Chain A
């Protein structure tokens, strides 16, 4: 083979390869256009995972920019993106008299990711980490508005008969950046406790006077999990508590059970989610979560909600009908297959009623068509083919809460979230183990640990260095020692004087030689003016 023919063959081969690629590419592009969206950072983990999945499985390119919900809605109104993701619907009457947010083309709200607002905390009793704290909704609201400032507040002790709560300050840690977690939490408070929470739904959470504000979910979770975070409580996604190895509070629901925000308990709660179908209302197609907050199902975690994807129902801006086909395919992937991963990503799978509601919205996307919106082929973990919203896989199999989780004198000792260790009973009542097992009637509260004789005795009290201060006695006496002690401001003792003297000496040793040495030298020099003592 001459070099020439070899070269010709090479060129031919490359050409053929290019042609093959060239033929394959348009076929691909004809199926899926590149679509892009922006918005919520709360949903970003899930969206990023789904984008990777559809890119590798279907060759679909979806761009997403987590700028924040409000920025996402703004960009959507400007017509620069194909979809937006937000926890808050378009604000038709913004509080600050900004221009109302009115998208120039039709849109629909489609549920995409669900999640519960978990309360991660860091609390020690007698030097041992508490992992079974229980809180009622009112108490939570009061903690985060600064009305309850001590862990031994009567409201908290009433929720936790099994724990001798310490006299320690509560540090509520909130998000300093705008976030979907703040929006969902404040929405719940504004609906359930409007007398205590008057700020309405806020993605920018107002910091309580005794609180801290930190940026990002990792920021608040990081604060609580550090050593100095003892006494702190924050609202954060459940997955962050799991990762950092910290417990979350069980929250009281309408059935009088304290429930942990697991994926199942959130999904069960969202079975009661409704969508506003009154087209005359300003909140047309937005979520109505009153049913979720007040669900009578004992498995319900009340602080459950979901975020929307805002999808166009009219062509305009950068959005075309071809993109609509891609968006429809991506949306149905998210509602069905994508929900399989929701739990691993720290969210909860969308239950059947919301998936069906989402399907209705997909049908309205121009170009999406009705293909791929069949609940019977949908591989969602919460229902099987043939299920109905009232009778589905999730409702049948989700675990019932344990008897010791019911409001009453007993408190389960089993840990929660990232802290599975048991918490010994330090208060009154008998403990009990919540069986994290099958569904049905729920774990019988087998007293795993009976209260020590003289229940109600306070636990040992340790100071901040871990030294034992008092070993028990009454809860009142013990807790008084643990309170932050105050120092006299004007206690100037010999230590202070000695320290001040040391500091001055050190400064003198550093500063004086360079200044003094030239002067001394000059002074010692023969004929120096100052040594003569002669008057000038």
Chain B
């Protein structure tokens, strides 16, 4: 407050106002002043930092845009031929001009959904265990272990899935299909609708690929959820305990509501990764180009696995078709990741004031 300001005191009972002049000089004697600029004059180090930060951010966005642009340009010739059918055609045969992404995209989403169904309960439990139950060295050790799991290359998961898990999961698949075959998802039938029980009917299925991908995204989801859970304020936790809550009651009343953003964000980020997972799906799945609702039955597909499988022997035009498939996946992943990061960001800023 500049010297010489006029302070109005509204602590009045009536309509009278008291004017207090604090200045020791007459207000009229001061020269008229420009209002002081509120824009700070940045120091040199600030300027350097700002420009570096801006250019780094700009380059990242530019690279993203360049990838999208590159994909659209290369996909152009295929999309011109296929037109809107590209989204609805199930076959993939660029040689004959009949190709579309419907079955492949369906398979991608199917695998991702199975993966999420398996990974979210696992990740939720693991992160609650680490953040709420464990303590001391064991806790630190498990945090490191989970982060280490995130660093296991996906090809290792794929090999494990093909040469170990697949053999072991067949009886499980068969059991589910035998007793829950009345749910259309879990039926394993041939074209005439007769149930299949051969081991070969259960191999290379979206279910197995989904399990492997699910296990791959568990570490990512766990660490995001755990971080959110550990941010739940200690005061509220203590308050819940003080009111006689059990640990489970405290988790239900404090930790989960505070970590809701983390749960949603972790799930979405995991979904983004599951959609784009290549090598494990590539190794396990037996690619088919038809929509297969029976998750336990052999055959499925995914966009990234399709690209990896086809690109080596693709002609110029087939490559363009693969680029178009890649573009669709790129856009979907982009949307999901944006949504996830916005949810995570919102929960971080608002978590403390909530509840």
**A: which residues have CB within 8 A of B?**
41, 67-71, 74, 91, 94-99, 169, 171, 176-179, 203-204, 207, 212-216, 219, 222-223, 226-232, 464, 484-487, 489-490, 492, 495-496, 499, 514, 517
Instruction: Tell whether A227 pairs with B178 under 8 Å between CB atoms, given A214-B204, A222-B163.
Output: no
Q: Given A215-B282, A514-B248, A514-B252: A178 and B312 within 8 A (CB)?
A: yes
Q: Max chain A CB contacts within 10 Å: which of B200, B298, B314?
A: B200
- A69: chain B residues at CB < 8 Å are 312-313
Given the known inter-chain contacts A71-B311, A222-B163, please indicate yes or no for A464 contacting B199, CB distance below 8 A.
Answer: yes
Query: Can you name 28 A-B pairs with beta carbons within 8 Å?
Result: A70-B313, A71-B313, A74-B316, A91-B315, A94-B317, A95-B96, A96-B94, A96-B95, A96-B97, A97-B97, A98-B315, A98-B317, A98-B318, A176-B287, A178-B309, A178-B313, A178-B314, A204-B313, A207-B287, A213-B286, A215-B282, A223-B204, A226-B166, A231-B200, A487-B178, A487-B181, A492-B182, A496-B179
Docked-complex contact B317 and A207, CB < 8 angstroms: no
> Given A215-B283, A489-B195, A492-B182, A207–B313 Cβ distance below 8 Å?
no
A42 to B195, CA, bound (A): 39
Q: In the complex, what distance in Å separates the CA atom of A71 from the CA atom of B310?
A: 11
Query: Shortest distance in angstroms between A188's beta carbon and chain B's nearest beta carbon?
Result: 18
Of the listed residues A41, A68, A204, A207, the one surrounded by the most CB atoms of chain B closer than 10 A to its CB is: A204
Q: How far is the CA of A153 from the CA of B314 in the complex (A)?
A: 36
Q: In the bound complex, how far is the Cα of B36 from the Cα of A298, in angstroms? A: 103
> Is B249 within 8 A of A219, CB to CB?
no
Are B286 and A68 closer than 8 Å at their CB atoms?
Answer: no
- In the complex the two chains form, what is the Cα distance from A74 to B170 in whole Å? 42
B176 to chain A minimum Cβ distance, whole angstroms, is 11
Within 8 A of A (CB), among B150-177: 162-163, 166-167, 170
Contact in complex: A219, B95 (CB < 8 Å): no
* Range of interface residues on B (Cβ < 8 Å): 35 or more
Instruction: Tell me which residues across on chain A come within 8 A of B200, comparing CB atoms.
Output: 169, 171, 212, 228-232
Within 8 A of A (CB), among B80-123: 94-97
A492–B181 alpha-carbon span in the complex (Å) = 11
**In the complex the two chains form, what is the Cα distance from A228 to B315 in whole Å?**
35
Q: Which residues of B contact A (CB under 8 A)?
A: 94-97, 162-163, 166-167, 170, 178-179, 181-182, 187, 193-200, 202-204, 248-249, 252, 282-283, 285-288, 298, 308-318
- Rank and list the top 9 A-B pairs by shortest CB-CB distance, nearest first: A68-B312, A178-B313, A228-B199, A98-B316, A98-B317, A203-B313, A96-B95, A212-B286, A98-B315
Give Cα A231–Cα B201 distance, bound, in whole angstroms. 12
Bound CA–CA A28/B323 (angstroms): 44
The answer to whether A68 and B311 touch (CB under 8 A), given A96-B318, A222-B162, A222-B163, is: yes
Residues of B within 8 A of A496 (CB): 179
Give A495 to B194 CA distance when docked, in angstroms. Answer: 21
Contact partner, A70, options B163, B199, B315, Cβ 8 Å: B315
| Among A74, A215, A490, A499, contact of B179 (Cβ-Cβ < 8 Å) | A499
Instruction: Say yes or no: A228 contacts B167, CB within 8 Å.
Output: yes
Q: Total contacts A to B, CB within 8 angstroms?
A: 125
Name the CB-closest residue of B to A223: B203
Q: Are B202 and A228 in contact (CB under 8 A)?
A: yes
CB neighbours of B315 from chain A (8 A): 70, 91, 94, 96, 98
Decide: A227 near B312, CB < 8 A? Known: A219-B283, A496-B179.
Answer: no
Pair B313/A176 contact, Cβ less than 8 Å: no
Contacts of A219 on B, CB cut-off 8 Å? 162, 283
Beyond known contacts A204-B313, A216-B283, A514-B252: 16 more, CB 8 A cutoff? A70-B312, A70-B313, A96-B96, A98-B317, A171-B200, A178-B313, A178-B314, A204-B310, A207-B287, A214-B283, A214-B286, A227-B167, A464-B199, A492-B182, A499-B179, A517-B249
Q: Are B95 and A213 in contact, CB atoms less than 8 angstroms apart?
A: no
- In the docked arrangement, what's the CA distance between A280 and B142, Å? 70
A355 to B282, CA, bound (A): 38
Distance in angstroms between the alpha carbons of A96 and B95 in the assembled complex? 4
Q: Are B194 and A486 in contact (CB under 8 A)?
A: yes
Provide the bound-state CA to CA distance between A489 and B199, in Å.
18
B95 touches A95 (CB 8 A): yes
- Determine the residue in chain A with the shortest Cβ distance to B318: A96
A212 lies within 8 A of B204 (CB): yes
**A41 and B166 within 8 A (CB):** no
Give the nearest-CB partner of A212 in chain B: B286
Distance in angstroms between the alpha carbons of A67 and B282 in the assembled complex: 16
When the two chains form their complex, are residues A487 and B312 in contact, meaning their CB atoms are under 8 A apart?
A: no
A228 touches B317 (CB 8 A): no
Q: Pick the contact of A207: B166, B203, B286 (CB < 8 A).
A: B286
Residue in B94, B167, B248, B249 whose CB lies within 8 Å of A226 = B167
